[in-house]
Chains A and B, each alone.
Chain A
Amino acid sequence: MRRNRVALGFLGLFVLIVAFVLAAPLWADHVAHTGPNDTHTLQKIEVDGEKRDVVAPTGQPIGPVWLGADGRFFLGADGRLGRDEMVRLMYGGRNSLFIGIVSALITTLLATVLGLLSGYYRGWTDTAISRAMDVVWAFPVLLLAIALGLVLAVGGLQIGPIHLSGGSIWIPILIIGIVYTPYMARPIRGEVLSLREKEFVEAAVAQGAGPLRIMFSELLPNLWSTIIVFFTLNIANNMLLESALSFLSVGVQPPDASWGTMIASAFNLITSAPLLTIIPGTMILLSVLALNVFGDGLRDALDPKSKVRFEAHSGLSAAEGSETAEVATP
């Protein structure tokens, strides 16, 4: 990995992006003096000594003032509501990254458990789990996510005693985490099918180890490199899907910001204030690019012989037992 300077460079870029979004409360409290959802439609600010409307009477929002107002409205206002674009970009990034990372964790957890069970037990267990994954996989990821998002946006989700309201950020997290599970479970299952035939597993069985011990103490450590690579690449896919869902109003609910909702709300201003769509779009681009390049580098470093990769195909299934996983982009 040390030799792969490009991958390390992009890791550094991603770390910078994370640091940028984590600094949101600092910027909001100490520089911009406003929250991400606070409106300033009628406010005037002093920019380089001149009083200017945050939102003009014609509805045109102020453009980037950079440091002309001591950091306030650094990137301008986000539209006719006069919200600080920079503050929303930072808080929006927190939401986008949080959703991307947590949903990737959910995908990883579900996919690892299902892949282990399916690959180890084989037989009816494998059949049942694989067919369930096939059903989920049969739906185009974006359409399935939209359908689930629409259904849950109004009434929310009730899981036993836990109720998630329609606007909860956990709804897009769960949706994204679940729809991508088959894309990770199948290759993990393939690796497990291969690993369970190895001598060390036979030895563990001979020593009287039970299935759970074999799966989690013998097989799982051998899967870590695969899991880590998938996890990293999955974050990128999840961020893209979150952006798409939020753009379509079934992800993060307004007025909360995410990079997807920022693009959606600025779409009507694309001719008069194009930066309002370009800036969050660029952040998505940089984050996804950084994760993808780093993930590729990580894969090369951890297991150069492995053919495991996330590639942008349109929903081709992984062959049974194959180590190659192909993932449809949203």
Chain B
Amino acid sequence: MVSAFGLSACGGGSGGGGKEGGTLTGSYASFPDYLDPALSYTAEGWTAMYDTYIPLLTYAHASGAAGSEVIPGLAKAMPKISDGGKTYTLFLRKGLEYSDGTPVKASDFTYAVERVFKLNSGGSPFYTAIVGAEKFAETKSGGIPGIETDDKSGEIVVHLVKPRGTFTNELGLMFVAPVPKSTPAKNMTADPPPATGPYEIVKSEPGRGWSYQRNPQWDKANSKLMPELPSGHVNKIEISVIRNDSTEVNEIERDKTDWMQSSPPADLYQKVKTKYEGSQFRVESTVSIYYFWMNMKRPPFDDLKVRQAVNYAVNTEALERIYAGSLQGAHQILPPGMPGQKDFNLYPYDMAKAKKLIAAANPSDRDITVWTDNESPNNEAGAYYQDVLTKLGFNAKFKEINADNYFTLIGNESTPDLDTGWFDWFEDYPHPNDYFQPLLAGESILPANNSNFSQTDIPALNEKIARLGEEQLGPEQEAEYAELDREYMEQAPWAPYGNNTTSTFVSSAIDLDQVIYNPTFGHDLTSFQFK
């Protein structure tokens, strides 16, 4: 998934000793892409909804590697996988209710999956392996025959067209968290659907903030049925969008805000780290990749030489400095910490070589639009990249877009001049397929909510992704993913430049040791507790 900032997984703990109750105040630097579980595909959105919408399976509420474990959510147990990996059988826990009092039904899962396709969600590619899903994605009608449910018994059976090694992970993503059938098939960010988790979103003002309160049905029913999931300590949570990250830091230092979702800005990072590390501040590592995508279907990036030249021309050392030390340079797709990752660098920095490649390619179209969002230091990374392209002889125009809209804008094929731009990606789950399928597989190119911005569609590599996606991950598959990484970088659809860290920064009122940072969902709101 994407993030305007970095996310990581480290630290956190369990146990209490703090106060129960109170109102947690938090800040985001930008409003999430969506507050709709079917649509959101950013770290900001997932953090916001992790404790609100529980899928059939979910991820353990823990930091680090423990947080990558898939556990039962609304389902009683992990799925029974049969028929050579093509059939998944689960049972919904009986007695679950949404925050509006509506009973949760097994058929609500089918509705949630249909909603993903009706809304052309960026998560659609994860579920196209379900029998009938591809046809439903095109027609938006006729149902998905591959999902069979029985509301009386709570049984849910999912039939796949072919085995899918990542499907258990994907059942744990919020895209397919059940919602009532009364939820319209439209973007519900301004009026989020009823919750199944410990907190419900009671107010949403897009662009400005949103609020949570305890889900009344959680204490009444759901918590007893899902005792493995935490109930949270605070009673209310108020999130404001504060677009200036220096102001966010200032508010935390003055204990006006309890938590900021992103990291302190680069110019304050070292100061905050030195002053508060251990008491209010903690560095969190991430499994992430920051990169510049190049649209392979538009000139000049339809020429391999040009794409390779860009890779040679981008100096990751400069970008490390732009990120003020929080970024580690990278030159490949898979980040450290991802199974199958093996370090290599096909394009060590060499501006002279880059210019020679451009001369050899001699592209006739030298007008390029460089896209980035407006959050620092990503916008500065974009400005640096624009300067690099200018030095290579291109007429590079810069387009800086508000972070609230950036991902939806560049993910929409109707946006003109989508030549190249900035992007980041954080693991959805600890499986390398998560980096290849949504970002580089041909089938992932969508007209809206697209994540394959480079429009990469290489049949031989598509087949490899599809085949590896069917297999369970083992040493052999990891070696093949490492090879796939190299094969893609030979085609240079991106110029990767780094892996980022993020941080947890809280006010003095919050017990830092209790705060959980989940590798997929970020800060766990149920773990925040006042001292």
Contact = CB atoms under 8 A, between A and B. Distances in A.
B401 A154 contact: yes
Contacts of A8: none
A322 interface: no
A243 B320 CA distance: 31
Interface stretch (B85-93, B182-190, B261-269): B261-269
Interface in B382-424: 383-384, 386-387, 390, 397-402, 409, 415-416
Interface in B471-486: none
B266 A80 contact: yes
Contacts of B266: 59, 80, 268
Contact of A254 (B323, B325, B400): B400
Contact of B321 (A55, A255, A273): A55
Contact of B246 (A55, A58, A270): A270
B324 interface: yes
Interface SS, A side:
loop
A207 interface: no
A167 B398 CA distance: 7
Interface in A4-57: 37-39, 41-42, 55-57
Contacts of B397: 165, 167
Contacts of B223: none
B409 to A, nearest CB: 7
Interface string B316-336: 011011111100000000000
A150 B148 CA distance: 47
A249 B377 CA distance: 15
B398 A80 contact: no
Interface SS, B side:
helix
Interface in A246-272: 249, 253-255, 267-272
B322 A81 contact: yes
Given A59-B267, A154-B409, A271-B268, A249 B387 contact: no
Contacts of A270: 246
B399 A58 contact: no
Interface size class of B (residues with CB under 8 A): 35 or more
Nearest to A167: B397
B322 A58 contact: no
With most chain B CB atoms within 10 A of its CB, the pick from A37, A39, A155 is A39
A81 B380 contact: yes
Interface string B264-296: 011111110000000000000000000000000
Contact of A58 (B317, B325, B386, B409): B325
A253 B379 CA distance: 12
A80 B379 contact: no
B246 A271 contact: yes
A55 B325 CA distance: 12
Contacts of A268: 244-246, 265-267, 376
B315 interface: yes
With most chain B CB atoms within 10 A of its CB, the pick from A167, A255, A269 is A255
A41 B349 CA distance: 15
Contacts of B415: 154
Contacts of B268: 271-272
B374 interface: yes
A59 B322 CA distance: 6
Contacts of A155: 416
A288 to B, nearest CB: 24
Interface string A277-317: 00000000000000000000000000000000000000000
A39 B265 CA distance: 20
Contact of A166 (B271, B315, B376, B399): B399
A327 to B, nearest CB: 29
A79 interface: yes
A329 interface: no
A81 B385 CA distance: 10
A60 interface: yes
Nearest to B371: A154
Interface residues of A, number: 31
B379 A41 contact: no
B60 to A, nearest CB: 35
Contacts of B245: 268
A58 B270 contact: yes
Contacts of B387: 37-39, 81, 255
A39 B324 contact: no
B377 A80 contact: yes
B401 A80 contact: no
A165 B390 CA distance: 18
B393 to A, nearest CB: 15
Nearest to A55: B321
Interface string A138-155: 000000000000000111
A267 B244 contact: yes
Given A81-B380, A249-B400, A254-B383, A59 B325 contact: yes
A255 B379 CA distance: 10
Nearest to B383: A255
Contacts of A56: 321
B495 to A, nearest CB: 16
With most chain A CB atoms within 10 A of its CB, the pick from B321, B376, B380 is B321
A315 B266 CA distance: 40
A269 B384 CA distance: 18
Given A55-B321, A59-B322, A268-B246, A80 B315 contact: no
Contacts of B379: 254
Interface of A: 37-39, 41-42, 55-60, 79-81, 153-155, 165-167, 249, 253-255, 267-273
Given A55-B321, A253-B398, A255-B387, 4 more contacts: A59-B266, A59-B377, A81-B322, A167-B399
12 contacts: A37-B390, A41-B318, A42-B315, A55-B321, A59-B266, A80-B377, A254-B379, A254-B398, A255-B398, A267-B244, A268-B245, A271-B267
Interface of B: 244-246, 265-271, 315, 317-318, 320-325, 374, 376-377, 379-380, 383-384, 386-387, 390, 397-402, 409, 415-416
Closest 9 CB pairs of A and B: A59-B324, A41-B318, A59-B266, A39-B387, A80-B322, A272-B267, A255-B383, A268-B265, A269-B267
